[in-house]
Chains A and B, each alone.
Chain A
Amino acid sequence: MRLGASAVVAAGLLAVGGGSVGLILASQSGYTSPRVAPAVRLPVPLGTVLGTPSPAVVKPVPGPAELTIPAIGVRTSLIRLGLTKTGALQVPPTAAIAGWYTGSPAPGAVGSAVIAGHVDSYAGPGVFYRLRELRPGDRIYVKQQGGTLAVFSVSSVDLYRKSQFPTSRVYGPTPTPELRLITCGGTFDPQLGSYLSNVVVYSVLSG
């Protein structure tokens, strides 16, 4: 009788102890992100700065070569992006590099140029991981082929559910030279294997 009860108590203690350890481990192993180094503030790129285009002179603007965002430590060369078979925006094949949508005007020309990059890869942060940390007034530098810099100033940072993506606002025509940076954000749906929202940074050429 005494032995039986002691055995029950001992088993119970083991269960409580083991369960507690398991709970602690489960709570610590879960809900953690891979560690990311803090953003490095990059130096501002130097070069001839593109002025606001005179309305009467329509000079062709060369395509972009490199993107630098000092505030969030981004510096990447730019690949060319088109559309997928379904008409969606093509995205870079790796998370380490951003791309310019060739159907949009060149950054620095009149209209809204579009550059897209991944927020993360399967394993770690992507080139646009810190895009959502940008604030109005932050500068974005696009070095054109030929070396001229088009300098943009962030006007707003918006988060849209992908199901309610404002296509015409993001990709639509504008009368001034503007630049949109696009990446993913919001909740990640493991079933779909994709984020449910897009982060869009709006910026305008600062003369």
Chain B
Amino acid sequence: MITPKALRRRITFLLAAGLTALGLFAFAAPAAMASPTVIAGSTGWLRLAHLSPNTPAVDVYLYSLGNSNAKVVLKHVSYGTVSPYQTVAAGSYVVAMRAAGAAAGSPPVLSTSIKVVAGHAYTVAGMGPKSGLRLQVLDDTLTTPPGRSLVRVVQASLAQTTVTVTAGSQVLAHSLAFGSVTSYQSVAPGTWKVTVAGQSKSASKTFTLTADTTHTIVVLDDPGNLELVDLTDAAGSSALPAGAAGTGFGGMVSRPGSSPLPWAAAVALGLIMVSLGGLRLRRAGVRGSHSR
């Protein structure tokens, strides 16, 4: 027979064990997945172009506003050159042009400021004749109407001061003056014979305009002739998938095992039974010793 004292010790031990078990459970429970570091993506794009026929090569500098260290330096950029897009943080920038080889600290020939909005793309182009050279900021369109292609024309030929540009029978630019730019125009995707006709010269080239892409066609002076260059401004998906992606089956998910509640209830009930029974045994023992 267990003595009341031993019983009390036993109860204390079991209570401790029960609480320990509950504690273990509480620690094991919050096994949630850690989420990846989230980095805000607030960037835009910029590209730089030299489209002034009689302006010699230049060095182009890109500064973020208020920072005298250039972010990008393109050396010896000559007429007809267009840089790839640079991904830059949204914010204000300054584009400066210096004569090729001029010291980075020398005063620029030209400069302009530009505000880059996140998710937008820009072309900063040196345009016009040398005597009236200017830096022009063009807003580049990224998104097309579904299944279409968008095309605009930049007229950078000084030899032919106005040009008309066609893709098949569609007119992309009509009597476009030197130094100007059309807005984007929707074109059916496909392979097109693009023709440029100036006052005395003309030229043709075949371009493939894929669906969901935007283009800038540049008319350039090629000594004695006209030249056409097709720049891809952006490309998208042929169809944007609807909603999110169902890329998981749940096999790596932590699952709760059998519910702990019945077990906790059993422990609690057991503790009640032990203490009640123990009390009764103790009283019985006390009474027994009295009667002796």
The chain A residues found within 8 Å of chain B, CB to CB, are 1-2, 4-20, 22-34, 36, 52-56, 58, 83, 86-89, 91, 95, 101, 103-105, 109-112, 114, 116-126, 128-129, 132-136, 155-160, 162-163, 165, 167-169, 171-176, 182-188, 190, 193-195, 198-199, 202, 204
With A1-B284, A9-B277, A16-B270 already in contact, the answer to whether A160 and B244 are too (CB < 8 A) is: yes
Neighbouring A residues of B27 by C-beta, 8 Å? 27
The reply to whether B18 and A20 form a contact with Cβ atoms under 8 Å apart is yes
Neighbouring A residues of B233 by C-beta, 8 Å? 175
The reply to whether A111 and B236 form a contact with Cβ atoms under 8 Å apart is yes
Chain A's closest residue to B212 (CB) is A173
User: 6 A-B residue contacts at CB 8 Å?
Assistant: A1-B284, A19-B18, A30-B256, A56-B231, A95-B249, A186-B35
The reply to whether B270 and A14 form a contact with Cβ atoms under 8 Å apart is yes
Neighbouring B residues of A8 by C-beta, 8 Å? 273-274, 276-277, 280
The reply to whether A119 and B252 form a contact with Cβ atoms under 8 Å apart is yes
CA distance A126 to B276 in the complex (A): 55
The contact of B47 among A17, A55, A86, A114, by CB within 8 Å, is A55
Q: Tell me if B251 is interfacial: C-beta within 8 Å of chain A.
A: yes
Q: Is the interface of A mostly helix, strand, loop or mixed?
A: mixed
CA distance A58 to B233 in the complex (A): 11
Interface residues of B in 216-252 (CB under 8 A from A): 229-252
Interface residues of B in 82-108 (CB under 8 A from A): 82-85, 87
CA distance A47 to B134 in the complex (A): 43
CA distance A126 to B249 in the complex (A): 9
Interface residues on B, range: 35 or more
- Most chain B CB within 10 A, of A15, A163, A172, is at A15
The reply to whether B84 and A202 form a contact with Cβ atoms under 8 Å apart is no
CA distance A129 to B252 in the complex (A): 9
Neighbouring B residues of A111 by C-beta, 8 Å? 213, 234-237
Across chains A and B, which 3 residue pairs bring their CB atoms closest together, nearest first? A12-B273, A15-B270, A173-B236
B196 to chain A, nearest CB (A): 15
Q: Of the 9-residue stretches B125-133, B137-145, B155-163, which lies at the interface with chain A?
A: B137-145
Per-residue 0/1 for B266-292: is the Cβ within 8 Å of any A Cβ (1 yes, 0 no)?
111111111111101100100000000
A36 to chain B, nearest CB (A): 7
Neighbouring B residues of A10 by C-beta, 8 Å? 277
Q: Tell me if B170 is interfacial: C-beta within 8 Å of chain A.
A: no
With A12-B277, A16-B274 already in contact, the answer to whether A31 and B28 are too (CB < 8 A) is: yes
The reply to whether B241 and A83 form a contact with Cβ atoms under 8 Å apart is yes
The reply to whether A120 and B277 form a contact with Cβ atoms under 8 Å apart is no
The reply to whether A27 and B25 form a contact with Cβ atoms under 8 Å apart is yes
Chain A's closest residue to B279 (CB) is A5
B276 to chain A, nearest CB (A): 6
B191 to chain A, nearest CB (A): 12
The contact of A198 among B245, B249, B267, by CB within 8 Å, is B245
With A118-B247, A121-B251, A165-B243 already in contact, the answer to whether A101 and B274 are too (CB < 8 A) is: no
The reply to whether B235 and A6 form a contact with Cβ atoms under 8 Å apart is no
With A111-B234, A159-B35, A185-B33 already in contact, the answer to whether A195 and B239 are too (CB < 8 A) is: no
With A14-B270, A23-B21 already in contact, the answer to whether A183 and B248 are too (CB < 8 A) is: yes
The reply to whether B270 and A13 form a contact with Cβ atoms under 8 Å apart is yes
With A9-B281, A120-B250, A120-B252 already in contact, the answer to whether A88 and B142 are too (CB < 8 A) is: no
The contact of A33 among B45, B239, B254, by CB within 8 Å, is B254
Neighbouring B residues of A16 by C-beta, 8 Å? 14, 17-18, 266-267, 270-271, 274
With A12-B271, A23-B21, A31-B31 already in contact, the answer to whether A173 and B144 are too (CB < 8 A) is: yes
The reply to whether A6 and B236 form a contact with Cβ atoms under 8 Å apart is no
Chain B's closest residue to A204 (CB) is B87
Neighbouring A residues of B18 by C-beta, 8 Å? 16, 19-20, 23
CA distance A204 to B87 in the complex (A): 9
Sample of 19 further A-B pairs with CB below 8 A, known A1-B280, A23-B21, A88-B246: A6-B277, A10-B277, A15-B267, A19-B268, A22-B262, A27-B21, A27-B24, A56-B230, A88-B242, A110-B234, A118-B248, A135-B37, A171-B237, A173-B212, A173-B235, A174-B45, A175-B85, A187-B33, A194-B248
